[in-house]
Amino acid sequence: MGSAELVPPDDGSHRAPRSVLVDQAAELLGVSRRTVYNRIREGRLRTIRTRCGSQRVLLESLESLLRAMVGERRASGRSADV
């Protein structure tokens, strides 16, 4: 029997945004949940809502914020550790 491909090729058109829970975002950034919500309100983090209503932080926006934080630390002469 030939190998049938059950999964459509990944051309990016069917991919859901990669996201994490607010708690996970806080842990990744090393900050509190409140700080994550503040960054969302400021527009520095982007989110999506799931069907059941929970809010998830897009990993792309987390990566952008981390890059900005590293850049700010380098500019101020502090360590680049986040």
The pLDDT of 1-13, averaged and rounded, is 50
User: What φ, ψ does residue 70 adopt, rounded to 5°?
Assistant: -65, -45
pTM value > 0.75 = no
Residue 66: partners with Cβ closer than 8 Å, 6 or more residues away: 29, 82
**Separation of alpha carbons 28 and 60, rounded Å:** 13
Q: Is the pLDDT reported for residue 6 higher than 60?
A: no
pLDDT one-digit tens code per residue, 12-41: 555 656 999 999 999 999 999 999 999 999
